Each structure stands twice: as structure tokens, then as C-alpha cells.
A and B are shown apart, each in its own frame.
Chain A
């Protein structure tokens, strides 16, 4: 690597340094916008005891669900985990811990983590099981709970296009949690559909500036659809 060129040529290099017990923040919503190859590499490495922060945990046999097969995940921090039979089994067997976190709070925890804000107050979850044991403070007569930021040893991100400097653009709703995840990793790895030269992306339209990104790898994506709903072709 030289200068700002972040491109790595192998998945081994992309996830080099990942160790047992680390925290990994993953972009994606359901199966949309997930770093498929980086997840595959974690499976191949066999790293265990991971804390994975991601809105969901994939499905059986795809996405983060792959990491359940060899019991690599010790704890999930997610807002919704209902799509996965293996997940249910490991949870009920006590092999997996889950910290259910409201979706907006989860996004903000990542954003705050990347932005150097250690904690923030939110009305979300006040008076519910999510608020139990958390500090409460009133602002303008309304109670808010204190939520702490999240950072990861690694962040794994899926981009549409990245340039070699790590500037990223996401496509459609595959953006989701990826921009926040990108900011919150000590080592942020971007898996992109396409890698371009600096200057090919419009600087005004970059979603994630390269400063947040440590490694970029070109991936190939299956892009599996979780709920395929179509309407009839109109003539």
C-alpha cells in the first residue's frame, strides 16, 4: 500500500487482524447492502466469541446467519432478529446473547461512536424494558434515557462504488446502516461492487469520505432478495 491507496487484493488481507472476542460492526438491513465476501472471510477464518453489531443477523445459510453455523457469534446487538431458525435455537440454548436495541438508537449509537460522542439522550425506549437501568434526564419536561455509543474493532461495509482512496457511494436502500458502520470501526473494511480511480466519483456526491476507510476490496455479490414482492406488468 502506498499513500492513500487502500485497495487490498485478497480477503485474507481485508480481514487481517481479526481476533477471537472482537467486536464487529456490520452494515446492511436484512440481506440488503451486506458485505457478503467479508462475512464469508470471517466464516473461513473461524474467529469465535465475536460481538456483532448489525440491525439483523441474516437468514439461515446466508449473510451473518453463516457465522451462526460454527457458533462464531457470542453476542448480537440488533433491532430485529426474527428471520433465523438457527439464531432462535442458539438463543434458547444459551449459546448466544442478544441485546435488542431500537433501530434508530442503534443507528445513532454507531453514528455517535464514529463521531466521538460517547453517549446521547433519546426519548426512544423511555418507560419500556429498553430503558431499564439507564440514566433518565428531563429536558423541557420530557424524560429521555442515556444511550452509549458503539465502536468496533472492525467495521465491515458494503459499497456500490469505492475509489482507491476509500471514498464510497452506496446504491439505493443498500445504503442503510453502512455509512454509520464505516465511521465506527477501528479498522473499517469496505467491500465494493466496483473500484474506480480517484476523480471518477463526484466529490459532492460521496456518501462516506475515505478518511474513515482503511481497506477496500472488490467483491462479487449474490444480492439475495429476502422478500420478493412484484406487481403485475402493466400493458
Chain B
């Protein structure tokens, strides 16, 4: 089973040199630390910053420089800053190459539920619905099961949706999967995790190719 850091490391392997990437809060944000040295990616923060840098030092701290998680950040050399409408124009218009975000549930139709649990207070979807509707490639990172051991990869999402028919790739603590033709297709398994275990913990239809390699780090 992968740690949060290992999931982030595996996510970072998906990026190509020159990609514009939007990373959600949590594990997706960690992926920024594992981008291979030989490639450059530029981070988009949906509050209006393309070219997000590291956290500021005390002397760099600036209340006017924050990321979408409302944390203080810096901008890299060559960054640009713009309005929220411009930011979502580049998201909705398909100009952002990758979006990485977490989810409560994903299903075999590529639907995602990530913002609302009925009965709990709803804080809002923020930019997640725009991001899943607009990015060219979306990677969902999540644990394969919930804390009670129930599958989060399902035939049909049970929670209110964030987007429909938009998820093509999922990286969990157990596996890398794609979503194709109404099924999850097992692409890679975490080191030491068996195909049997993944089958057992996946709720929706799972296609298992003859050869399922272990992830490489």
C-alpha cells in the first residue's frame, strides 16, 4: 500500500515537460515536490496565478500573494497573475493540461463525487466543478477504500456528483487505473499488492489485463 507521499510521487510521473498543471488540496499538492528534475511544469492556482512557486520566507510574506487554498505563496520567474474570470477561461477552455484532485467516489462511467456528503454541512464546490469540466486530463488521487474498508471505485456514484463522464485516470494507494468503456482497467499495482486484493476492494467492473506491472519509483 502506498503512503500519501508515494501516491504523490506516482502522480508526478504522469507530467510531461511543458505541462500546465492545476493541483487540488492535499495529496495533489504534494505532487509538486516530486516533479522530475529534467522536466518543467507550471502550476496554475485558480484564484488567478499561473506559475505558482514555493511558500514564502518570513521576509517574502505578502498578504496579496495567496493560492487557491488561501495559503501564502510566491510566484516563479515568468509567472502571470489575472482575474478569476481569466483563470476559469483557461480552465474551462481546456488550456490547462492536467488537473489532479481528490474524490470521495469515482464510478465506471467516469463520474466523480468530491464535494458534498448529504447530512453533513456543505461548504461548497469551490472551483472543482469547473476544473473537472475543463481540464484535458484529470487524475483522481484517493485511497482505494474508505476508512471502513468500503470501495470508493463504484459501478455508480452514490453521492451528489461534481462532474459526469470526465475521469479517465485514478491513482490510489493500491493501483493505477484508467476508466474506459464503462469499466476500470487495472494498469499498475502498488509494490507488494496483489491483483486479487485490488479486485476485492474495487466496487465497479474491473478489467484486468494479462500482465499488470508493479509501479516503479
Contact = CB atoms under 8 A, between A and B. Distances in A.
Interface residues of B, number: 53
Contact of B130 (A102, A174, A228, A234): A102
Given A105-B130, A225-B63, A228-B61, A80 B123 contact: yes
Interface stretch (B67-75, B143-151, B179-187, B208-216): B67-75
A174 B64 contact: yes
Given A55-B84, A80-B126, A103-B126, A229 B72 contact: yes
Nearest to A144: B133
Contact of B88 (A33, A108, A127, A223): A108
A175 B127 contact: no
B164 interface: yes
A172 B64 contact: yes
A214 interface: no
Contacts of A229: 55, 71-73
Contacts of A62: none
A230 B55 contact: yes
Contact of A79 (B62, B70, B92, B125): B125
A106 B125 CA distance: 11
A51 B118 CA distance: 25
B44 interface: no
Interface stretch (B11-19, B155-163, B190-198): B155-163
Nearest to A130: B129
A223 B116 CA distance: 31
B141 interface: no
Interface string A123-156: 1111111100000000000000000000000000
A95 interface: no
B47 interface: yes
B77 interface: no
Given A173-B64, A230-B72, A103 B88 contact: yes
Contact of B84 (A30, A176, A226, A227): A176
B138 to A, nearest CB: 13
B55 A231 contact: yes
Nearest to A110: B85
A223 B57 CA distance: 18
Given A107-B83, A173-B49, A232-B57, A124 B133 contact: yes
Contacts of B172: none
B1 to A, nearest CB: 29
A212 interface: no
Contacts of B62: 172
Contact of B125 (A29, A102, A180): A102
Contact of A226 (B46, B54, B70): B70
- Secondary structure class of chain B's binding surface, majority of residues: loop
Contact of B85 (A107, A128, A171): A107
B106 to A, nearest CB: 14
Nearest to A82: B123
Given A55-B84, A129-B160, A230-B56, A224 B63 contact: yes
A178 B126 contact: no
Nearest to A127: B164
A226 B66 CA distance: 9
B70 A30 contact: yes
A102 B71 CA distance: 20
Contacts of B58: 230, 233
Contacts of B83: 107, 175-180, 207
Contact of B124 (A79, A171, A173): A79
Given A122-B92, A233-B57, 8 more contacts: A81-B124, A82-B123, A103-B46, A108-B85, A123-B134, A177-B84, A230-B56, A233-B59
17 contacts: A80-B126, A82-B124, A91-B121, A100-B124, A104-B87, A104-B91, A107-B88, A122-B92, A123-B134, A128-B160, A129-B116, A172-B62, A172-B64, A173-B48, A173-B65, A226-B66, A229-B55
Q: Closest 9 CB pairs between A and B?
A: A104-B88, A82-B123, A104-B130, A127-B164, A80-B124, A223-B63, A107-B84, A103-B127, A172-B64
